[in-house]
A and B are shown apart, each in its own frame.
Chain A
């Protein structure tokens, strides 16, 4: 219950922010931090709570982004109407990839590679087909209005991304307190034991992949509405996949607040490195890589592990 109250307080504080802050620069950082937390939480639901590490979460993100863009540009849909369709499509892609992987018992690095491969296949497809704009990408028509999911001020976007991110966090909270969530974490910790208790391992993992895919594609829709543009590299390239796993790894895998903390820490860190080292290409990637190695080595439970102070227990491990 405490964590739910903390989540609500967090929501209220962020929602009140525009009353005190009018700087577009600051609001943009808050928006991008919440957006990173959304992607992180989406990844965390499958990777952290379900133990299925994906290296290709862009496959869901890009699907949501392209669904929103194509429905608007080619079919003249309203962006708000495209949102649920895009989210449903993200879940469907999750069902497809999950069914294929889990039916054949792919786990660990094999599952990670399959997701990576799917993201790459989708990137190549979107680079080829005309209706996704091929290599040129898609630009959505600029008609700024709230009814169009294109706000004239940052405040509108802030409220939308806050809503998305809180929704993702509520799902994570539900996973911590529900029977399904207990099943998912049991499968993560030990599939064989979970099966011995009658947990339907396949269905539980499939469900997590669909939820994760749905939330990730909501992130894709937001991206398109915020930046008005999508192309194959942005949608399905490795950048988004890395961004999605970075926040929970830094903040704390399998925890409710890990992705939020991680996203905040990363953005703070990103701003700092930018102001110290400038925008030289490749620098930030190198710094992030180094940070990731340090985190995994010294803080495997992320910032949350630092806060709770409990030592990590490796997957399936026992310390007899």
Chain B
């Protein structure tokens, strides 16, 4: 579904991504792990067309989207939930969700809102509340719900568990697994290695803008040098 070949990119003159290659098949959960500053978020933003690629290629559903505008990439169904719960604080829960469905999923907006409320009942109880007044966990749910409103074909989650209580982390990973069971393809970017490897089919480890490991969770967990060097476990 997504194929990345030799992708280089960064900000201005500064190269952050130093030749990334990976692929994600339909229906997979693929985990991208790596410490702070490894370039994970830069990779996400480059895939989504927000940060321009210097060279290399990104193919989504067989189409070259390397130089596509970010609006077209979202319209094609590659949707990212950015890190850090970036909801729109002055808009209501409902307005936040509706914003996820203007480019895609317009026809089934009502149904999708019902679906998001079924997944996150707490959001349903707070439809008219301003999003900035939600708790941290609720904001993360809203951010994920908003991403789902666009009926993603591939959903990129950037550190969805960051800053959540252990109980909520559990809930979020549970949800990711359920969404995947329903057929959604997921690129999961995380620092929470244990939980991510428990639900991912394959994993990549990124360091310094390059991929230093590709394999199954089992292979990664069996490699103690790698774990110590890059994941700190």
Please state if A313 and B133 are interface contacts (CB–CB under 8 Å): yes
Nearest-Cβ distance from residue B5 to partner chain A, whole angstroms: 23
A254 at the interface (CB under 8 A from B): yes
Q: Which residues of A contact B104 (CB under 8 A)?
A: 198
Q: Would B87 and A197 count as touching, CB distance under 8 A?
A: no
Contact at A318–B136, with CB atoms within 8 Å? Answer: yes
Stretch of B24-32, B77-85, B196-204 on the interface side: B77-85
CA–CA, A254 and B88, complex, Å: 14
Contact between chains at A189 and B89 (CB < 8 Å): yes
B-chain residues with CB within 8 Å of residue A193 when the two chains form the complex: 82, 86-88, 143
Interface size on A, residues (CB 8 A): 28
Task: Determine the chain A residues whose CB is within 8 A of the CB of B81 once the complex forms.
Answer: 196
Inter-subunit contact A190/B50 (CB<8 Å): no
Task: Give the residues in chain B near A313, CB-CB below 8 Å.
Answer: 89-90, 130, 132-133
- Taking the closest CB of chain B, its distance from the CB of A52, in whole angstroms, is 15
- Among candidates B71, B89, B99, residue contacting A316 with C-beta atoms closer than 8 Å: B89
* Closest A residue, CB atoms, query B149: A197
Which residues from 127 to 151 on chain B have a C-beta closer than 8 Å to any C-beta of chain A?
130, 132-133, 135-136, 139, 143, 146, 150
CA distance A33 to B87 in the complex (A): 37
User: Is chain A's interface secondary structure helix, strand, loop, or mixed overall?
Assistant: loop
Stretch at the interface among A14-22, A114-122, A154-162, A177-185: A177-185
Contact with A along B28-72 (1 / 0, CB 8 A): 000000000000000000001010000000000000000001110
B71 close to A186 (CB less than 8 A): no
Q: Determine if B150 and A198 form an interchain contact, defined as CB atoms under 8 angstroms apart.
A: yes
B9 at the interface (CB under 8 A from A): no
- Alpha-carbon gap, A182 to B102, bound state (A): 10
Query: Which residues in B have their C-beta under 8 angstroms from that of A198?
Result: 70-71, 73-75, 102-104, 150
Q: Is the CB of B87 within 8 A of A318?
A: yes
Contacts of A316 in B (CB 8 A): 86, 89
Query: Which residues in chain B, 79-125, are within 8 Å of chain A measured between CB atoms?
Result: 79-82, 85-91, 95, 98-100, 102-104
Once A182-B91, A186-B91 are accepted as A-B contacts, the answer to whether A196 and B48 lie under 8 Å apart by CB is yes
- Report the bound CA distance from A186 to B71 in whole Å: 15
Contact with B along A253-266 (1 / 0, CB 8 A): 01000000000000
Q: List 14 A-B contacts (CB under 8 A).
A: A182-B102, A185-B95, A186-B99, A193-B87, A194-B99, A196-B50, A196-B70, A197-B79, A197-B99, A197-B150, A198-B104, A199-B102, A315-B89, A319-B132
Binding site for B on A (CB under 8 A): 179, 182-183, 185-186, 188-190, 192-200, 254, 310-311, 313-320
